[in-house]
C-alpha cells in the first residue's frame, strides 16, 4: 500500500523537476524528444558484446543531469527499482554463453559476462534517458511535442486526460485501501470477494466521474477536441541542440573513441 | 511482462514502433468517426482507473502471493476494441515514461504485446464468440478467463519472439519459452477471474454500462469483421515495410535477425578449443581495425575464422588499449561534467 502513495509522490516530484527553469527546460520539447529517441536508437544499435563503445554515451545523461539540475541519486534509485527484469533475463547470458572472449593475464572473461555487462549498460543508458526526458520536459510538454509531430489528436488528448486523472484515481484507490487495511484483522477481508466489490465500486465511481467531466466539458463548449494553445518555437537553439548531440552520438557510434584514446596513450608510452 | 530496451535490437524495436503507430492512427480515426465524443473523457478516466486498480490487490489463498487486475480485457469489454487499444497504449506510455517500465524503444513492443492481442484478437475472436451477447455469469466468466489466458500467452510468446530476434539475450528460444509461458498461464487465470468478476459486478449493479458497448459489438456484424481485417492488413503491411527498411540495419551489424538465428543454431558447437588463439589474434587485429563493420574485419582474418563463423566479432574494448581508453573516456566524461557543474554554480553564485 505504501508503494501507491510513493508512486504518486514520485510522479509529482518529477513534475516539480520539470517546472524548473534552466536553459534545457526552456528548450522546445520536440528537440528533447527527438534527441532522446536518437540517443536510445544509437545505444541500442550497438552490438551485443560492445562495452567500450558504449562508455562515451554516458556523456549525454551526465551533461543533462548536471545542466538541468536534476537529482542524480533520485534518478539512480528509480533506475535500480526497475532493474530486476533486465537482470533476470541478462543473467542467463553468463550461464549460457561460456566461451571466453577476453584474457587479462590468467583471468579469462566469458562472452556471457561481457554481454551481460553490455545489457546492464544499455539498460542504464536507455532508462536514464527516458527519465531525464520526462523530468526536464514534463508530461504535458511531451504530449504537446507528440501532437506537433503528428501523433493523432485523440491519442494525445487521451494521454493528457489519463495524466490529469491519474492523481485523482490513485488517491481514491489509496483511500480505499487504507480503509480496508484499517478494518481487516488477521488478514481477513483481503480475499477475492471483497476485492471485487472494492474494485467494482471504484470502477462505478470512475464511470460517474467521467460522465460528470463530460457534462462539465460540454457546458464549456467541448466538441471532441481540446485546443492546446501554447506557442512552441523550434528555433536556432533547438536546431543547435539537436545537431550537436546528433553529431556526438554519430561520432561515438561509428568510432570506438575509448580504443582510439587508448591507442594514442599506448603510442605516447 | 514488460519488454525492455536493453534486450531489444533497433530493427525489432523499430518494426514494432511502426506497427503501433499504424494502429494508433487507425484507432484514433475509428474513435473519432464511430464513437460519440463522450468516450473521450471516459477513456482518459478509465485509463487512470487501470493504474489505481493495478495497485489494489487481493491475497491468493495458499500461495502467499497477491493478484490484481491486468487491464486490457476489461477495457475491451467496457469500451470496445479501438478505444480500449488507445487507452491501453496511453497507460503503457505513462508507465514507460514515469516508472521506466520497459523503455521508449520497447514501447512499441509493449503496446503490441499487451494492447493489440487482447483488444484485436482475444476480444473480437474469443470473448465475443463465447459470450455472444449472453450476459450471464457463466458465459462472462468462461469468455473472460479463456480470452485473458490466450491474450497473456500471446503476449508472453511475443516477448520471447522479440527477445529472440533481437539476439541480445543468450537465453535459447525454448528455455525462454518454457520460462515465460507457464508463469503467464497463472497470471492469465488470475486476470481472467478478476476481469470476469468485475464485469459481472458491473452487470449486476449497472447493466446499462455494458449495454452500449454490447450494441457496438453486436451492431454492424459484417462491417465489424471488415474493420478488424483492415487492422490486420495494416499491421502486417507496416511490419513488412519497416522490417524491410530496417533490414539493412540488421544485416550491417551482427545484432540483427540473421545473426541471432545463426547464433542459436551454432551455439552448442562453440565450445571448440582454438578460442585462445582466436581471441588473441582478434585482439591484436582490433588494434589496427577501427571500422565499425564487423564483417569487414572477419573477411580480412585468416582461415581460422571460417570454423568460427557463428562467432560474433570480439568487442574491441576487450583489448588492453580498449580498457585503458574506456577508463580514460569515463574520466574525461566526468571531468566535462565537473566543468559544467562548476560553470553552473559560478553562474548562480
Mean pLDDT computed over B302-306: 39
Question: Measured at the alpha carbon of residue B160, what is the angle toward residues B155 and B165, in degrees to the nearest 5?
Answer: 125
Mutation target for A interface from B56, B66, B84, B332: give the one with most A CBs within 10 A.
B56
Nearest by CB to B337, which of A63, A102, A222? A63
Residue B231 lies in domain: 5-252
Query: B314 contacts in A (CB within 8 Å)?
Result: 49, 101-102
| Percentage of residues of chain A with pLDDT beyond 90 | 6
- Check whether A58 has a pLDDT greater than 80: yes
Q: Are residues B205 and B247 in the same domain?
A: yes
How many folded domains does chain A comprise?
1
Q: Is residue B259 part of a domain?
A: no
The pLDDT mean for chain A works out to 83
How do residues A111-161 score in pLDDT, each as one tens digit? 788 888 888 888 889 889 988 998 888 888 888 888 888 888 888 888 888
How do residues B188-229 score in pLDDT, each as one tens digit? 888 888 888 888 888 888 777 776 544 444 433 334 444 555
Q: Are residues B16 and B139 in the same domain?
A: yes
Q: Is residue A14 part of a domain?
A: no
Q: Is residue B260 part of a domain?
A: no
- Check whether B177 has a pLDDT greater than 80: yes
Q: Which residue of B has its CA nearest to A222?
A: B37
Helix, strand, coil % over all residues of chain A, rounded to 5: 75, 5, 20
Q: Is residue A192 part of a domain?
A: no
Q: Alpha-carbon distance B194 to A199, whole Å?
A: 9
Q: Are residues B235 and B300 in the same domain?
A: no
Q: Is A265 on the interface with B (CB under 8 A)?
A: yes
Whether A177 sits inside 8 A of B55 (CB atoms) is yes
Q: Is residue A207 part of a domain?
A: no
Whether A157 sits inside 8 A of B40 (CB atoms) is yes
Q: Is residue B219 part of a domain?
A: yes
Mutation target for B interface from A203, A204, A253: give the one with most B CBs within 10 A.
A203
Q: Is residue B343 part of a domain?
A: yes
Q: Are residues B232 and B165 in the same domain?
A: yes
ipTM of the complex: 0.81
Q: Is residue A149 part of a domain?
A: no
Q: Which three cell numbers stand for residue B24?
A: 494508433
pTM as predicted? 0.74
What Cα–Cα distance (Å) separates residue B340 from each residue in A65, A192, B334, B345, B346? Answer: 11, 55, 10, 9, 10
Q: Which three cell numbers stand for residue B194?
A: 478478476
Q: Is residue B163 part of a domain?
A: yes
Residue A109 lies in domain: 20-137+232-258
Q: Alpha-carbon distance B129 to B266, whole Å?
A: 44
Q: Are residues B240 and B134 in the same domain?
A: yes
Backbone angles phi, psi at B106, to 5 degrees: -80, -5
Q: Is residue B306 part of a domain?
A: yes
Q: How many CB pairs under 8 A join A and B?
A: 386
How many folded domains does chain B comprise?
2
Q: Quick one: pLDDT at residue A156?
A: 87
Q: Are residues B231 and B279 in the same domain?
A: no
Q: Are residues B248 and B276 in the same domain?
A: no
Q: Are residues B239 and B289 in the same domain?
A: no
Q: What is the CATH number of the domain that holds B224?
A: 1.10.1760.20
Measured between CA atoms, how close is A105 to chain B, in angstroms? 11
Q: Is residue A121 part of a domain?
A: yes
Amino acid at each position: 500500500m505504501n508503494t501507491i502513495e510513493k508512486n504518486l509522490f514520485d510522479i509529482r516530484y518529477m513534475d516539480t523537476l520539470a517546472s524548473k527553469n534552466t536553459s534545457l527546460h526552456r528548450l522546445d520539447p520536440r528537440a528533447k524528444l527527438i534527441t532522446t529517441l536518437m540517443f536510445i536508437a544509437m545505444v541500442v544499435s550497438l552490438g551485443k558484446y560492445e562495452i567500450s563503445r558504449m562508455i562515451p554515451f554516458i556523456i549525454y545523461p551526465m551533461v543533462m543531469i548536471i545542466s538541468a539540475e536534476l537529482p542524480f541519486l533520485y534518478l539512480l534509485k528509480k533506475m535500480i527499482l526497475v532493474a530486476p527484469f533486465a537482470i533476470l533475463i541478462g543473467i542467463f547470458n553468463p550461464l549460457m554463453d561460456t566461451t571466453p572472449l577476453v584474457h587479462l593475464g590468467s583471468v579469462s572473461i566469458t562472452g556471457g559476462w561481457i554481454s551481460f555487462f553490455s545489457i546492464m549498460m544499455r539498460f542504464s543508458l536507455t532508462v536514464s534517458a527516458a527519465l531525464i526526458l520526462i523530468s526536464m520536459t514534463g508530461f504535458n510538454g511531451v504530449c504537446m511535442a507528440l501532437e506537433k509531430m503528428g501523433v493523432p489528436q485523440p491519442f494525445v488528448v487521451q494521454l493528457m486526460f489519463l495524466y490529469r486523472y491519474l492523481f485523482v484515481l490513485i488517491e481514491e484507490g489509496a483511500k480505499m485501501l487504507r480503509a480496508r487495511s484499517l478494518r481487516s484483522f488477521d488478514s481477513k477481508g483481503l480475499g477475492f470477494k471483497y476485492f471485487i466489490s472494492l474494485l467494482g465500486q471504484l470502477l462505478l465511481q470512475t464511470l460517474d466521474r467521467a460522465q460528470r467531466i463530460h457534462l462539465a466539458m460540454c457546458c464549456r463548449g467541448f466538441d471532441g477536441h481540446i485546443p492546446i494553445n501554447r506557442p512552441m518555437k523550434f528555433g536556432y537553439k533547438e536546431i543547435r541542440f539537436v545537431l550537436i548531440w546528433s553529431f556526438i552520438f554519430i561520432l561515438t557510434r561509428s568510432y570506438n573513441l575509448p580504443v582510439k584514446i587508448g591507442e594514442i596513450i599506448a603510442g605516447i608510452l | 511482462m514488460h519488454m525492455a530496451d536493453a534486450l531489444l535490437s533497433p530493427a525489432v524495436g523499430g518494426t514494432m514502433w511502426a506497427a503501433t503507430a499504424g494502429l494508433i492512427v487507425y484507432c484514433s480515426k475509428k474513435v473519432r468517426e464511430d464513437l460519440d465524443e463522450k468516450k473521450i473523457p471516459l477513456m482518459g478516466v478509465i485509463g487512470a482507473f487501470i493504474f489505481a486498480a493495478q495497485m489494489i490487490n487481493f491475497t491468493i489463498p495458499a500461495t502467499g502471493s497477491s493478484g490484481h487486475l491486468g487491464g486490457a480485457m476489461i477495457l475491451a469489454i467496457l469500451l470496445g476494441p479501438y478505444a480500449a487499444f488507445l487507452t491501453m497504449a496511453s497507460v503503457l506510455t505513462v508507465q514507460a515514461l514515469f516508472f521506466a517500465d520497459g523503455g521508449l524503444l520497447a514501447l512499441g513492443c509493449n503496446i503490441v504485446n499487451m494492447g493489440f492481442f487482447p483488444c484485436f484478437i482475444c476480444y473480437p475472436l474469443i470473448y465475443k464468440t463465447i459470450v455472444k451477447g449472453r450476459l450471464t455469469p457463466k458465459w462472462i466468466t468462461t469468455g473472460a478467463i479463456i480470452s485473458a489466458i490466450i491474450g497473456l500467452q500471446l503476449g508472453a510468446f511475443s516477448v520471447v519472439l522479440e527477445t529472440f530476434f533481437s539476439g541480445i539475450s543468450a537465453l535459447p528460444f525454448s528455455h525462454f519459452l518454457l520460462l515465460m509461458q507457464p508463469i503467464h498461464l497463472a497470471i492469465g487465470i488470475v486476470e481472467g477471474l478478476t476481469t470476469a468478476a468485475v464485469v459481472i459486478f458491473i452487470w449486476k449493479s449497472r447493466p446499462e454500462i455494458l449495454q452500449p458497448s454490447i450494441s457496438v459489438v453486436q451492431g454492424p456484424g459484417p462491417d465489424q469483421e471488415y474493420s478488424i481485417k483492415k487492422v490486420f492488413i495494416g499491421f502486417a503491411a507496416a511490419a513488412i515495410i519497416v522490417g524491410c527498411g530496417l533490414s539493412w540495419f540488421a544485416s550491417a551489424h551482427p545484432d540483427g535477425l540473421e545473426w541471432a538465428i545463426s547464433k542459436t543454431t551454432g551455439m552448442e558447437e562453440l565450445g571448440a578449443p582454438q578460442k585462445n588463439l582466436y581471441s588473441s589474434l582478434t585482439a591484436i587485429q582490433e588494434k589496427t581495425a577501427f571500422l565499425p563493420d564487423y564483417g569487414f574485419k572477419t573477411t580480412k582474418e585468416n582461415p581460422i575464422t571460417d570454423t568460427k563463423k557463428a562467432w560474433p566479432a570480439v568487442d574491441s574494448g576487450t583489448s588492453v588499449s580498449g580498457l585503458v581508453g574506456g577508463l580514460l573516456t569515463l574520466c574525461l566524461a566526468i571531468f566535462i561534467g565537473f566543468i559544467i557543474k562548476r560553470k553552473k554554480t559560478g553562474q548562480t553564485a
